[in-house]
């Protein structure tokens, strides 16, 4: 290191409070800009993706493997006990199964009525693996290992295990950020399957720890909605394709205004153990064509 350069370095001593001031303005500027537009997301996402995503992919794979092995060891003893219980349960279930067989007939009839089956199949899907989850503990966003190179675009719906997980909010070349419906800042327009009444499903950190989502603004003047009814995404949602299962109603209360109802629903997807998801490649507008 030559002395000249060092002296140059010494001269350049911007007091920290000015630096703080400048960076504060930069931050506020960025917040304002990104609040109104999304011009930065493209290039920044690509740069960040190059440095971070490959590592996340590798480490998540190893981490899940380690976790699996440790879980397996600790669960063996528990499984032996559980096995006994389950055997007893199998007998009970065989009996109830026969009852259900009869109800299944009814169900297939209802399904064809709502054309749920065909709708799910019509959508083009692609599988993706979750490689990173939210850095903070407040929201439930995660990153998947497919991006614009695989044809993924913002606002595409993400499902897993037959239920709605969330939608893509941000895309890089080989990664995409998914906002889940259980996040505290997420809201989905839903519909009760049996009565086609619309409602708003919103994530709630407080309820989620108990395993619920909350819903509100259900107009049910005919009083037909019951606990256990299926809630699916509605036709009028701007991002979500219609007819994707969200969950089942578990509590139902009248609001103070006596016009609408609200309550809780249990989600159809097990968000705790989510590793792989399906991204529906159809966007809402195209599907509604």
* Shortest distance, position 155 Cβ to another protein, whole Å: 15
The continuous run of DSSP H or E covering 94 comes out as: helix 41-114
Q: Where are the beta strands (DSSP E) in the chain?
A: 125-133, 141-144, 157-160, 163-171, 176-180, 187-192, 198-202, 213-219, 230-233, 245-254, 260-267, 276-280
* 53-92 binders of another protein (CB under 8 A): 55-56, 59-60, 63-64, 66-67
Binding segment for another protein (CB under 8 A), chosen from 27-35, 107-115, 157-165, 240-248, is: 27-35
Say whether 234 sits in a helix, a strand or coil.
Answer: coil
- Only segment of 103-111, 125-133, 237-245, 254-262 that touches another protein (CB under 8 A): 125-133
Binding mask 99-118 for another protein (x = CB under 8 A): --------------------
Q: What is the contact mask toward another protein in residues 227 to 266, using x (rule: CB under 8 A)?
A: ----------------------------------------
Strand 163-171 to strand 198-202: parallel, antiparallel, or no bridges (unpaired)?
unpaired
Assigned token pair, 164: 């709605």
String of b and e for 186-221 (b: at least 16 CB within 10 Å)?
A: bebbbbbbeeebbbbbbbbeebbeeebbbbebbebe
Asked if residue 50 binds another protein (CB under 8 A), the reply is no
By the rule CB under 8 A, 159 interacts with another protein: no
Residues of the shown chain interacting with another protein in the complex, contacts defined by CB under 8 A: 1-3, 6, 14, 16, 19-20, 23-24, 26-31, 33-35, 40, 44-45, 48, 51-52, 55-56, 59-60, 63-64, 66-67, 131-139, 141, 143, 177, 184-185, 205-206, 209, 272
């Amino acid at each position: 290191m030559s002395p000249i350069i060092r002296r140059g370095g010494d001269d350049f001593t911007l007091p920290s409070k000015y630096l703080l001031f400048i960076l504060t303005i930069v931050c506020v500027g960025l917040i304002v800009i990104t609040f109104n537009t999304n011009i930065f997301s493209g290039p920044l996402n690509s740069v960040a993706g190059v440095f971070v995503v490959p590592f996340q992919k590798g480490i998540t794979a190893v981490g899940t493997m380690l976790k699996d092995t440790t879980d397996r060891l600790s669960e063996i003893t528990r499984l032996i006990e559980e096995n006994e219980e389950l055997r007893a349960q199998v007998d009970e279930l065989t009996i109830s199964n026969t009852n259900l067989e009869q109800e299944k007939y009814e169900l297939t009839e209802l399904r064809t009525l709502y054309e749920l089956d065909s709708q799910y199949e019509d959508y083009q899907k692609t599988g993706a693996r979750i490689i990173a989850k939210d850095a903070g503990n407040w929201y439930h966003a995660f990153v998947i290992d497919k991006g614009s190179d695989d044809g993924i675009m913002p606002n595409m719906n993400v499902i897993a295990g037959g239920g709605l997980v969330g939608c893509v909010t941000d895309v890089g070349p080989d990664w995409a950020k998914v906002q889940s419906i259980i996040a505290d800042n997420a809201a989905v327009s839903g519909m009760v399957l049996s009565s086609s009444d619309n409602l708003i499903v919103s994530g709630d950190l407080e309820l989620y720890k108990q395993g619920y989502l909350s819903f509100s603004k259900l107009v049910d003047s005919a009083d037909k909605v019951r606990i256990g009814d299926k809630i699916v995404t509605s036709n009028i949602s701007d991002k979500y394709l219609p007819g994707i299962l969200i969950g089942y109603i578990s509590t139902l209360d009248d609001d103070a205004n006596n016009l609408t109802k609200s309550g809780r629903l249990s989600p159809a997807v097990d968000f705790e153990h989510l590793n792989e998801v399906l991204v529906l490649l159809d966007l809402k507008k195209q599907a509604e064509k």
